[in-house]
Amino acid sequence: GAVVSQHPSWVICKSGTSVKIECRSLDFQATTMFWYRQFPKQSLMLMATSNEGSKATYEQGVEKDKFLINHASLTLSTLTVTSAHPEDSSFYICSARDFGGVNTEAFFGQGTRLTVV
């Protein structure tokens, strides 16, 4: 099956710094990528939908100036957590959908564990 690579797998950063997480579709073109956040023992919360070549669509309550999303190509989307604080510590997962449309399978990255100290 298709592979989505997410990098880094884990990162520790100091409070106030910014962290960039990459999500790449390795063998297919992803016009749409999704970014999720997951707290321990909880569901994946959809943060935003990233469309190649256009601005991301953020879910209600997600600060777009804090979580910057860039989808510059059909194989790469990035999430930058700006001025990170300890409450931003979480597990972030990206998902990429193959070119075929909204009902085709989505493939998930392995997730990034962010710890802000």
Partner 1 sequence: GEDVEQSLFLSVREGDSSVINCTYTDSSSTYLYWYKQEPGAGLQLLTYIFSNMDMKQDQRLTVLLNKKDKHLSLRIADTQTGDSAIYFCTGRGKLIFGQGTELSVKP
User: Where on the chain is the footprint of partner 1 (CB under 8 A)?
Assistant: 1, 4, 6, 34, 36, 41-44, 46, 49, 91, 93, 95, 102-111, 113
Cβ count within 10 A of residue 12 = 11
Maximum pairwise Cα distance, the chain: 41
Distance in Å, CB of 99 to partner 1, minimum:
14
CB contact set of 51 (below 8 Å; sequence gap of 6+): 31, 32, 57, 71
Distance in Å, CB of 83 to partner 1, minimum:
26
Asked if 15 contacts 85 with a C-beta cutoff of 8 angstroms, the reply is yes
Which CB atom, from 32 or from 75, has the smaller least distance to partner 1? 32
Which CB atom, from 45 or from 82, has the smaller least distance to partner 1? 45
Which CB atom, from 67 or from 107, has the smaller least distance to partner 1? 107
